[in-house]
Amino acid sequence: NAGVTQTPKFQVLKTGQSMTLQCAQDMNHEYMSWYRQDPGMGLRLIHYSVGAGITDQGEVPNGYNVSRSTTEDFPLRLLSAAPSQTSVYFCASSYGQGNEQYFGPGTRLTVT
């Protein structure tokens, strides 16, 4: 049981490039989410999903897209990277409302 996995661990992009951050969980959790963490800002919710085929926006969704075609996978797409998207990105999942969320190890993204 691997829990929540994320790839890549590190990534450097140039402004304007696109990429997909991968997230997968093997715990059959309904809920999955993406956060970004910046110094002094805490964790902020980007997008979330309450089940396959259902996604919604969080606090800071601009510049990001998500899809949820399976229960296991929840990729985050950066459409046209900007330096303001330099951050640490965490994916998380939980099995029900109000329950603890399990986090992946994070992806450290730098946009130059």
Partner 1 sequence: RKEVEQDPGPFNVPEGATVAFNCTYSNSASQSFFWYRQDCRKEPKLLMSVYSSGNEDGRFTAQLNRASQYISLLIRDSKLSDSATYLCVVTGAGSYQLTFGKGTKLSVIP
Please list every residue from 30 through 49 that binds partner 1, using CB under 8 A: 30-31, 33, 40-43, 45, 48
What is the DSSP secondary structure assignment for residue 73, as one 8-state letter?
A: B
How many CB atoms are closer than 10 A to CB 104? 23
End-to-end CA gap in the chain: 36
Beta strands at 54-57 and 107-111: parallel, antiparallel or unpaired: unpaired
CB of 32 to partner 1, least distance (A): 9
> What mask, x for binding partner 1 by CB under 8 A, covers residues 1 to 30?
-----------------------------x
Point out which residues bind partner 1 (CB under 8 A). Answer: 30-31, 33, 40-43, 45, 48, 50, 58, 90, 92, 94, 96-101, 103-106
